[in-house]
Structures are given as C-alpha cells and as structure tokens.
Chain A
Amino acid sequence: MIEVSEQIAIDHGLKSDEYKKICKLLKRTPNITELGIFSAMWNEHCSYKSSRLHLKKLPTKGKKVIQGPGENAGVIDIEDGDAIVFKIESHNHPSFIEPYQGAATGVGGIMRDVFTMGARPIANLNSIHFGSPQHKKTKNLLRGVVHGIGGYGNCMGVPTIAGQTSFDSSYNGNILVNAMTLGLVKKNKIFYSKATGLNKPVIYVGSKTGRDGIHGASMASASFDEKIEEKKPTVQVGDPFTEKLLLEACLELMAGDSIIAIQDMGAAGLTSSSIEMASKGNLGIEIDLNRVPCRETKMTPYEIMLSESQERMLIVLENGKEETAKKIFDKWNLDFAVIGKTTNSKNIELFFNQEQVAKIPVNILVENSPMYDRKWKKSKLPKKNKIKNEVLNKLKIKDVLKKILSNQNICSKEWIWQQYDHTVMGDTIQKPGGDSGVVRVHGTNKAVAASVDSSAVYCWAHPLTGGKQVVAESWRNLISVGATPIAITNCLNFGSPEKEDNMGEFVECVQGIGEASKYLNFPVVSGNVSFYNQTKEVGIKPTPSIGGVGLIKDCKNMISMDLKEVDNLVLIIGKTEGHIDQSLFARTILDEKNGPPPEVNLFNEKNNGESILNLIDKGYVKSAHDISLGGLLVAISQMCIKGNKGIKINKLKNLINEIEYFFAEDQGRYLIEVNKKDLKEVTKILNKNSVHHEELGIITQNDMIINEKTKVTIDELRSYYTNWLSKYMS
C-alpha cells in the first residue's frame, strides 16, 4: 500500500494546510483510501469551499418552494398536488476534453439528480458556450457536444425543449456545457437523501463500477494546462440505455414504500453519495466493498470509492424490503447488491477482504470541510462611450440588420435543436426557438415553461448589473410565453477563485442574482458552481446561467412570438433609452468593447412583466417576445420570420437616433401584438399601471417597412437569420 505523505496529498489536489488539517482531525495520518475520500469531498466541486460563504446570501425561500438548495435538486409547488423538481449543472471540463461523452454524461447526471427525488424527467434544457467560430477546435467541440446531448437525451425519451448557445473567444480553451432537467412528481411522493434508522440495508443499484472517471471531480476543480489530453481517462462514459432502465426501475420501486433515502452516485461516486446520506441523517454507514458490483477485476478500495462510473444509485431500504426491491431491478436487468448498513457510529467504515480499510467520522468530512473567504476585487462601473451621431448616420439600417441577424450569437440555432428529440412524451406545446420551452403537465390543462439564459458580456463589463440582468431576462422569457415565473436554478461558471478578479466577478454576480431574485420573488432553489474555467492564466468571461421555471395555469393562455394577424398592432412595452454600450451592435458594428451594460431597473422589470401577464390573462395579447440581445429590430424580425408576416413601422417620435432606437439593448422591454379593437382597453391598463408603452407599427401581409427608404422582405430576413449555423457546420 502506498505510504501517504504531504506530497501525495498535494498530488490529490489538496493544499498543504488542508492536509495538515486532515491529520489533526483524524489524529493520525490517513491511509491512501482515506486520503482519496478526503480529496474527493474537499475539492471545490464537491465542497463549495470558495463559494459557500457567498451562496448563503441568495434568497432560497418562497411560498411555492418545497425544497431549496441542499438536496439533489430543488422542488416547487405547481398546485393540484403536483410539484416540479429541477436543477442545472455544469459538465464543462469533461466536455472540453471529450465533447461527446462529457456532454452526454452531463445530461445523464442531471436527469439522475431529478429522478432520484422520485420525479419523472419531462424536459431537458441546456446552455452551451463555445470559443470563437474561427478557433480551430470550435466546430468539432460544437458537433461533439450537440451529438452528446442528443445521444443521451434522445435515448432516454425526454424532450429537449429549449437552450442557449453562444460563441466568444474567452471560451476558446474552456467551453461550457450546462444541462438542466425538469421532472414531475406528486407532492407527497418526493424522495430525499436523508438516511434514518439504524441497521437499515444500504443498497447499490444500476451499472457496475469500473475504473472510469476516477478523480473526475478533482479534475473539474483545477485549471487546464498543455497536458490536458492526458486527462481523458478522468472523463466518464455514458450509457443512456442503462439509465433509461434505471429510471423505470427506480420509479417502479418508488411507487411502493420500501425506500427510506436515495441518492445518485454523481461526482465522487460512492464516496459522496454514502457520506451525504449518512451526514444528513446524522448516522454512520458501514460498507463491504467486496459486495460492490465491479466491471473490472482487482479493483482496489481506493478505485471503488472514487470511480465515477455512471448510472448508479445508492438506496437505504426499509428492513425486509430487499426481496421486493431486488425483483424490480432483476426485471430491468440491473445490478442489485446489499453492500452495507446504517450504524450509530457516525463514522464511515469501509471493509475489504474482511479488513477495515477506512474509518472516518462523517462530520469531519462534511462539517469540517474547508471554507474560504477568498480575496476579491470590486468592479467599477465603466464610463459610458460617447458615440457620435456622424458615425451612426453613416450606417445603413438594412446592412446593420443583416449583420446582426446573421451574427453567430443571434442567428437561428435550428441546426442544433433539430438534433434533439423535442417532441417525445407528447406534451411539448412550445418547441425550441421561442422565448421558453413549454411542456404540458401530462393529462392536465396546465403547463410548465422553462428557459435558460446567460449574458456573459454584461457580467464581464459589470458583474453586479450582469447578475441582475440574467435573472431579469429569465423572468421576461417566462412572461413572454404567458407563464407566471416561480423559481430559478443557477449554474455559476467562473474562472479561478484564487484570483481576485475572477473571485470578484463571482461575488458580485451572485450579489446581482440575489438582488434580482429577491425583488422579483423568484428564489434560487438549486444550482451548482463551476470554478477554474481557465486555461493557464486566462479565465472565461463570468457566465452565470440561470434556468427559470414558470407555470401556465391554462394551456390556452400560452403565448408564442410568431405574429398572428394582419392589421393587428405591435406595442413596445418598456422605455427605449438608446443604451448602446455592450450591445451586440456596439461590439460587432462599432467594434467597441468597453462601456457599461444596460442598467437593470427591477421596479420596471416587475411592473412591466406583471402588467403583461395581466393583459395575457384578459386575452389581449396575441403574440409576445422580449427585447434582448440585438435590440428592438432583431426582436420584431424574429416575430415576422416566425409568423411569416410583415410590419409597417411607425415614424419615430423619439428624439434618439434611429440606429440607437433600433439596436439599443435597454432592459425591461417586450413587444406584444394586440388587436386594434382592444387597443383602448390595453392602453388603459398600461397607463393605470404606469407602464411605458408606444406603438411600433401595424402588421402587414409581407415586408418589414422600417422607414420611407428601407424595406426588407420576410424572405430576406429569413435568409439572414437561418443560414449561418448550418453553413458554418457543413
């Protein structure tokens, strides 16, 4: 057996003082298996040691919240005894090393988190970010990630209903793959990971354990260097077929009353699942490692404990239910083994060949895990750029629109979502490509809407504002389909917490997220942090992804963005001030990368959003779309393309420059379509609520008429918008 030393601990990713702390807490030197367990539990990915302090400040409670952070996923109430279980999680590091398997197991892992709680997954979403399209790796990474997400989700038979894709050179060396799943469960049939009772059998089910993914979580807690290719063996390999069987078997077992606690084996595998269950129940746990079903021969206790083989679950059963449970797993051809029991020792005790190979007090691993108050740097709000009118006046609107609609961060992502099964389960009532994906709650008339958003550029320019903005955008995307926003999950992708700049970005983004979610009563119920998204010294732009979930009480009230009827009017909700800094226009047309992001006024966000929901409830809104990246003209173009209708835009009354008016990215804005006959009533409601609104124009059969000199046909708009990605990938 390897003799443990400080150097070996450091090779395991532990810091020198962390190793000293372990020796002090144990009052001895750990053996190699124990050291492996500590390194798995105390890495950034599992222990949240740099982020815990700040995450505590997020609002996590609300009337609709059944379970906040701390469980496998968050749970919210959607009435009638139904609940939605949801969470987003990152799989960034493995996806860069091996895009197909990295992305696939990311999707598999998040689905497991959801069905561990008893919920059948009903929708998947994802937020994926790649380097510059010109970078030599981008194309292959994109293709691999999309195939991986599709490969897993399609096989599981869970529709992928929405997503977000962006390209930015800051991801050249670190792509981001964030996967989100929503599951449906009855409120009284939710399963938790807290073990209770002594001498209860501890059951291992699912796939066999192999040597894949050992130290995966530690890898995800470090930066990349030129030796990255050597890390391929730390990436797990996914088997969606086995997971589909595991899903069905678990749900079948959950229908009865055999389970006390259940936990999936995700990051740090058997180690973290067993320790978490014991820790939450304030119990000990005893495992005989010889009983763990292994795929390879001669696996050591160290390897068995640290393997991240996929599609495995750990269950604490009621006594005497072993046979019932085994029958179900036999039916689904899955491994089933009683590997241990709960104890009152409050230790995790591992045995191998009749010898005790590890004994660690559970509280040392969990409660005594390191927590750091890292140094961080506050960001200043950048100064506004002064853009001269002469510069703007030289531009032709049509040329600008063409460039922006075909920009990689705006253009249609149909090439991607067409590779995801988005209609299986027969309840997808709004497909990808809209503001949110919407699935009906099976067998009912209500529906759940979900969206995933991030705005790395805004977060990079001013993290506090950026953090607020992402939450507000998620809120708007739900409102735009007629859903009442309920709660969010967040995936916080950042550079190294050991660098003051990156840590500052994290702290202030989290602060912004907290402020917005508190104000909008849109609490955070689950999430995950991914640090060390950096190669050598260069970190990614700070990229918190926000997954929002909302409820549509009656499917008939769902709204989509396609323009519906000629002669209807389009109104702009919210004020257009002409904020150009950090807009897509500024970056792509003016090549201006500095300046502050648009201001987020939470009062207006809430007021505008709630007023629109009120109008939707009354049946006045025929189509709706929020105005975000790219600005007003992009938003109306998308509505025209989807509805195959044109618009005659009114002559501007605004004093700001036409270009600023059309391409500014002021927040809190929407476009809504209303019938002429309802205009008076709609105006009355908006005025009463002090919502700024103006008429954009009237819907026509074809052509977007921007002003006297500028006309664009719908076919032209469509060709700008739809071609870029498929051309790039072919």
Chain B
Amino acid sequence: MKSSVITFPGSNCDRDIDVALKKFGFNNKMVWHGDIELPKSDLVVLPGGFSYGDYLRCGSMASKSKIMQSVINFAKSGGLVMGICNGFQILVETGLVPGVLLRNKYLEFICKNVFVKLDNKENAYFKNLNKDVLELHIAHNEGNYFCTKDQLKEINDNNQIAIYYCNIEGKIEDQYNPNGSIKNIAGIFNKEKNVLGMMPHPERMIDQSLSGEDGSIFFKNLLNNIK
C-alpha cells in the first residue's frame, strides 16, 4: 500500500509518521509542500508540527501551499486523507472537514496520554477494529474543537464524529476533556468518511517502551482495511 506524507516548512512529526507507516508495511513517500503533483497514493497524511510557524491561524498558511490543491482534489475524488494534530488544523482550514480548532481551554500546551472512544466504525479507518477505546497521545496548544450549532447538528446527523475524549472505560465526561473541545470531540470525518482529522498522535503509540501500543493496533487495522 502506498502512502504519502506531506512535509510543510515547520512540520515536525513528519519523520515520526514516516517511521510508523513503514513499520506497519506502508510504502511511504515524503512529499514536499512546494510540489504540485501528488505521487500515486492510497493514503495521504498531513503530519503534526507548526507549519509556517503557525504564526497566522494554525494550519492556515499550509492550507494554501502548492501541494494542497492536489491533496484537496485527491480527497474530493474519495482518496483517504488523514490529518494529525497540525494536520487536523490544516484540514479544517481547507474546509475538507467542518469546524475550527481554538486555543486549549486552559491556555496551555498539553502533552499527555489520553483515552478516546471510537464512535463510528463504518469507515476505512476504524472498520474491523476490535477495540472501542484507544489510548493515544496528545501534544498541542490549539486542539479545542469548536463549531456552530447548525454544524454540530449536521455532524451528528451524518455520523461524522470519529473519536471522543473519554476515560479508560469509555465514559465521555467533561473531566476527561483535556482542551475544552465541544462534546469532547477529538477527531472528525468529512461527510464521506474518507477524510479524518484528529488531534491525538497514533504514531507516538507504536511501541510498548514508548507510550503504549494502541497506535500499532490502529495502523495494522488501517493497512488491512486499505488492502
């Protein structure tokens, strides 16, 4: 399976996701933000980091970079596009997924393990996953997901919420919300479910000696689903 990871100036999780994808059998290529053509891919990943320094709104400059037109076309034609952390912020800025990501509620960068509950397995990302709660890792300053009431209704109606912050048992409560996201939302899909944006980093959970193995489960399953 072929994957592409886009490197923007300021991306800093591009190597990590490259390592993860290769570890689980993807044939991954790194793609420069200034390129125009996207290589043939089964999956495109927008990695974490601080694209263009995030000096404007996070992700907004990157959403306008040259390669993004190809990524948007790829997504619109049904290709799988996954944005992690800054990648999620970029997706929001392109409009591929609805909503915005605000500064964390307590105005502080937060780096820690969290649990997320999967809400919808009818998609290429989570289909066949034998777990409902995953332990993943977050590291962000702007992960506070927000959208209008109308948008929220639409998101709900279309089953677009991918993952919620929760506790180890899958309880979705305020106290398990690390950043103030509306409805504890940690990740969402586009309507068609081929585009996924999420704040947690599965690529940091691929080794027991690091933080844990739930990222491995995610990637193995993803590869099988795409095959």
A476 sits at the interface (CB 8 A): no
- Given A155-B12, A244-B10, A332-B9: A423 and B111 interface contact (C-beta under 8 Å): yes
User: From residue 160 to 215 of chain B, which have CB atoms closer than 8 A to chain A?
Assistant: 201, 203-204, 206-207, 209-211
Bound complex: CA A679 to CA B15 (Å): 44
Stretch among A164-172, A424-432, A621-629, A663-671 lining the B interface: A424-432
Chain A residues whose CB sits within 8 angstroms of the CB of B211 once the complex forms:
423
User: From residue 132 to 152 of chain A, which have CB atoms closer than 8 A to chain B?
Assistant: 147, 150-151
Rounded to whole Å, the gap between the CB of A564 and the closest CB of chain B is 15
Stretch among A81-89, A414-422, A497-505 lining the B interface: A414-422
B10 adjacent to A426 (CB under 8 Å): no
B112 sits at the interface (CB 8 A): yes
Rounded to whole Å, the gap between the CB of A455 and the closest CB of chain B is 28
Chain B residues whose CB sits within 8 angstroms of the CB of A422 once the complex forms:
111
Out of A241, A418, A425, A429, which one reaches B16, CB within 8 Å? A425
A361 sits at the interface (CB 8 A): no
B50 adjacent to A424 (CB under 8 Å): no
A420 adjacent to B209 (CB under 8 Å): no
B154 sits at the interface (CB 8 A): no
User: From residue 19 to 69 of chain B, which have CB atoms closer than 8 A to chain A?
Assistant: 19-20, 48-50, 52-55
B111 adjacent to A419 (CB under 8 Å): yes
Contact with B along A545-566 (1 / 0, CB 8 A): 0000000000100100000000
A423 adjacent to B137 (CB under 8 Å): yes
Rounded to whole Å, the gap between the CB of B12 and the closest CB of chain A is 2
Out of A151, A245, A423, A555, which one reaches B9, CB within 8 Å? A245
With both beta carbons as reference points, the residue of chain A lying nearest to B211 in the complex is identified as: A423
Out of B9, B108, B110, B203, which one reaches A241, CB within 8 Å? B9
Rounded to whole Å, the gap between the CB of B133 and the closest CB of chain A is 20
B12 adjacent to A244 (CB under 8 Å): yes
B139 adjacent to A154 (CB under 8 Å): yes
B55 adjacent to A419 (CB under 8 Å): no
Out of A240, A418, A421, A427, which one reaches B53, CB within 8 Å? A240
Out of A239, A240, A332, A420, which one reaches B111, CB within 8 Å? A420
A419 adjacent to B108 (CB under 8 Å): yes
Bound complex: CA A421 to CA B50 (Å): 13
- Given A150-B109, A241-B10, A555-B209: A423 and B139 interface contact (C-beta under 8 Å): yes
Rounded to whole Å, the gap between the CB of A415 and the closest CB of chain B is 9
State the total of A-B contacts with C-beta under 8 angstroms: 83
A429 adjacent to B210 (CB under 8 Å): yes
B111 adjacent to A157 (CB under 8 Å): no
A287 sits at the interface (CB 8 A): no
A240 adjacent to B204 (CB under 8 Å): no
With both beta carbons as reference points, the residue of chain B lying nearest to A420 in the complex is identified as: B111
A426 adjacent to B210 (CB under 8 Å): yes
Q: Most chain-B CB neighbours within 10 Å: which of A239, A418, A426?
A: A426
Bound complex: CA A221 to CA B110 (Å): 36
A659 sits at the interface (CB 8 A): no
B13 sits at the interface (CB 8 A): yes
A333 sits at the interface (CB 8 A): yes
Bound complex: CA A440 to CA B16 (Å): 13
Rounded to whole Å, the gap between the CB of B86 and the closest CB of chain A is 10
A76 sits at the interface (CB 8 A): no
Chain B residues whose CB sits within 8 angstroms of the CB of A242 once the complex forms:
53
With both beta carbons as reference points, the residue of chain B lying nearest to A153 in the complex is identified as: B109
A426 adjacent to B12 (CB under 8 Å): no
User: From residue 227 to 259 of chain A, which have CB atoms closer than 8 A to chain B?
Assistant: 239-242, 244-245
Bound complex: CA A244 to CA B15 (Å): 14
A244 adjacent to B50 (CB under 8 Å): yes
Bound complex: CA A444 to CA B191 (Å): 42
A424 adjacent to B210 (CB under 8 Å): no
With both beta carbons as reference points, the residue of chain A lying nearest to B13 in the complex is identified as: A424
Q: Most chain-B CB neighbours within 10 Å: which of A147, A421, A427?
A: A421
Bound complex: CA A555 to CA B210 (Å): 11
Chain A residues whose CB sits within 8 angstroms of the CB of B207 once the complex forms:
426
A426 adjacent to B139 (CB under 8 Å): no
Rounded to whole Å, the gap between the CB of A367 and the closest CB of chain B is 42
Bound complex: CA A155 to CA B31 (Å): 20
Rounded to whole Å, the gap between the CB of B134 and the closest CB of chain A is 16
- Given A421-B109, A421-B111, A423-B139: A240 and B203 interface contact (C-beta under 8 Å): no
Bound complex: CA A453 to CA B125 (Å): 45
A195 sits at the interface (CB 8 A): no
Chain B residues whose CB sits within 8 angstroms of the CB of A239 once the complex forms:
53
- Given A155-B10, A421-B111, A429-B210: A241 and B50 interface contact (C-beta under 8 Å): yes
Q: Knowing that A423-B211, A426-B15 are A-B contacts, what are 20 other residue pairs whose CB atoms are under 8 Å apart, sorted by A's residue number?
A: A147-B108, A150-B109, A154-B50, A155-B50, A155-B53, A157-B50, A241-B10, A241-B53, A241-B55, A418-B108, A419-B109, A419-B111, A423-B201, A423-B204, A424-B12, A424-B139, A425-B15, A426-B16, A426-B20, A429-B210
CB<8 Å pairs between A and B, sample of 17: A147-B109, A151-B109, A155-B53, A157-B12, A157-B49, A239-B53, A241-B9, A241-B10, A241-B50, A242-B53, A418-B110, A418-B111, A423-B111, A423-B211, A425-B15, A426-B203, A426-B206
Binding site for A on B (CB under 8 A): 9-10, 12-13, 15-16, 19-20, 48-50, 52-55, 108-112, 137, 139, 141, 201, 203-204, 206-207, 209-211
**6 closest A-B pairs by CB:** A157-B12, A241-B53, A426-B16, A155-B50, A421-B139, A419-B109
